[in-house]
């Protein structure tokens, strides 16, 4: 029986690296391969334990993880002395991994390591245990990033001849990247590039080295620049032209021009359009289309920006950007002072994407649009919905303050004073408190200086 190891070096939290496992080719055995196998009744030359194992493997390679789990569990219970139990336990662990049961997966990998320490899948089990711990860290238990690194290091120290060593070093880099320790990530990925430049992990290391530099440039940390990030992305495209990361690298080159404190919008547009031209099926195509809209928007080319945002919604209806694109369409109208059209477009965010991360800001700008149109009552209603429906929104304090401003703008001084006092009490740390306090003092004067006209 021949086992081909699965050494996918998927980054925890990066979906496109979670590729479906490659089909493993198992040699048909003519003799028994385990104590539970028997002689293969019915004239078959394949032992019954091999047939049962193959059933689980077929389900696994078809991504039928629920079926694979049942098959491997039944196999282990039915053929406890089979020579395939270590493999079945390993694949049961991987099945649980792909079902996001990382704790369960770890127990299976540990079972292989404890019971079958010399198994051909022992190093794989240790590696996938590391990946499972890594995923637990990405799921919120950040203390486990260091634990994942420890497990990957154990593969390196315990299985010096393993083909998984480049993947382990790559994953160590990814634990640092996912932990936002970008300098450490650069060091780890540089080690992969220097030591294993032809490995299947090298292109991923080149990409994430570039991403780490990009992140540090955005944070203006330690002198890293967007130009350096571009150089690394370009190196990936040149050195590893067949890499699955080249389309992402092309998109990120565009982002470096967009993200720079002194943006080069013209070049950003060139790079984003290259994604659409050269990598139309890319998972980054929707992002490129969205940032084409953002780039035109930043240049105040509102109509062209709306067209670009519309293409996100039309061409990529399942994109994570469609709700943002709809919001940005509304914002282009607001920014060009077309408040009536802004109201229509912004309301579509609330109606069509109520769970959007842009819903709160869309609701806020609905209030602002009504406010600009001097429709004060609906403006107050809209601002109130920000506070009620999105109490933790960064826009809540502004909505409260501007509620008071609607009364100011309609010269309703008594209501303005009450609204300002509510605002100050609710949001004492807001940047608008100082201005609100000034108005409160003035409104309490016998003869206000600022509020010279007040409607009863």
**How far apart are the C-alpha atoms of 361 and 334, rounded to whole Å?**
13
Number of H helices and number of E strands within the chain?
A: 21, 0
What is the per-residue pLDDT for 102? Answer: 98
Instruction: Tell me whether residue 226 is in a domain.
Output: no
Q: How many separate domains does the chain show? A: 1
Instruction: Tell me whether residue 442 is in a domain.
Output: no
Query: Whole-model pTM?
Result: 0.84
Instruction: Tell me whether residue 121 is in a domain.
Output: yes
**Average pLDDT rounded to a whole number, residues 86-100:** 98
pLDDT per residue as tens digits for the range 393-435: 999 999 999 999 999 999 999 999 999 999 999 999 999 999 9
Instruction: Tell me whether residue 151 is in a domain.
Output: no
- For 114, list phi and psi in degrees, rounded to 5: -80, -40
CATH of the domain at 54: 1.25.40.10
Confidence of residue 246 (pLDDT cuts 50, 70, 90): very high
pLDDT per residue as tens digits for the range 41-56: 444 577 899 999 999 9
Instruction: Tell me whether residue 102 is in a domain.
Output: yes
Instruction: Tell me whether residue 25 is in a domain.
Output: yes
Q: What is the span of the domain harbouring residue 56?
A: 1-136
Instruction: Tell me whether residue 222 is in a domain.
Output: no
What is the per-residue pLDDT for 292? Answer: 98
- Residues facing 82 on adjacent strands: 34
Instruction: Tell me whether residue 161 is in a domain.
Output: no
Distances (CA, A) of 121 to 32, 78, 111, 127, 165: 20, 21, 12, 10, 14
């Amino acid at each position: 029986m021949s086992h081909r190891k699965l050494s996918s070096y998927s980054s925890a939290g990066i979906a496109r690296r979670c590729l479906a496992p490659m089909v493993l080719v198992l040699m048909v055995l003519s003799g028994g391969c385990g104590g539970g196998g028997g002689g293969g009744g019915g004239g078959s030359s394949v032992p019954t334990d091999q047939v049962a194992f193959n059933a689980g493997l077929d389900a696994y390679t078809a991504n039928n993880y629920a079926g694979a789990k049942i098959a491997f569990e039944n196999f282990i219970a039915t053929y406890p002395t089979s020579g395939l139990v270590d493999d079945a336990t390993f694949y049961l662990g991987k099945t649980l991994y792909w079902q996001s049961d990382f704790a369960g997966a770890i127990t299976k990998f540990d079972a292989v390591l404890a019971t079958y320490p010399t198994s051909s899948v022992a190093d794989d089990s240790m590696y996938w245990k590391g990946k499972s711990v890594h995923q637990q860290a990405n799921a919120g238990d950040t203390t486990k990033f260091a634990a994942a690194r420890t497990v990957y290091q154990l593969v390196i120290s315990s299985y010096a001849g393993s083909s998984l060593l480049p993947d382990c070093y790559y994953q160590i880099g990814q634990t640092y990247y996912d932990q936002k320790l970008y300098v450490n990530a650069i060091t780890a990925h540089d080690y992969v590039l220097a030591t294993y430049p032809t490995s299947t992990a090298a292109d991923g290391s080149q990409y994430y080295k570039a991403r780490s530099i990009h992140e540090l440039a955005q944070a203006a940390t330690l002198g890293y620049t967007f130009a350096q990030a571009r150089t690394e992305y370009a190196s990936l495209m040149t050195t590893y032209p067949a890499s699955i990361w080249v389309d992402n690298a092309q998109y990120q080159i565009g982002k470096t021009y967009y993200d720079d404190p002194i943006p080069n919008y013209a070049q950003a547009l060139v790079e984003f359009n290259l994604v659409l031209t050269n990598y139309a099926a890319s998972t980054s195509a929707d992002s490129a289309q969205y940032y084409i809209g953002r780039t035109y928007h930043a240049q105040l080319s509102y109509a062209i920006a709306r067209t670009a945002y519309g293409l996100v919604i039309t061409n990529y209806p399942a994109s994570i950007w469609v709700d943002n694109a709809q919001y940005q369409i509304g914002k282009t109208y607001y920014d060009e002072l077309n408040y009536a059209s802004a109201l229509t477009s912004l309301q579509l965010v609330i109606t069509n994407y109520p769970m959007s991360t842009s819903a709160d800001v869309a609701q806020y700008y609905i209030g602002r649009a009504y406010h600009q149109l001097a429709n004060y009552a609906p403006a107050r209603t809209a601002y109130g919905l920000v506070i009620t429906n999105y109490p933790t929104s960064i826009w809540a304090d502004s909505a409260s303050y501007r509620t008071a401003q609607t009364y100011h703008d309609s010269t309703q001084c008594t209501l303005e004073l009450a609204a300002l006092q509510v605002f100050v009490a609710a949001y004492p740390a807001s940047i608008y408190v100082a201005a609100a306090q000034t108005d409160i003092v003035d409104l309490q004067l016998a003869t206000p200086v600022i509020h010279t006209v007040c409607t009863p």
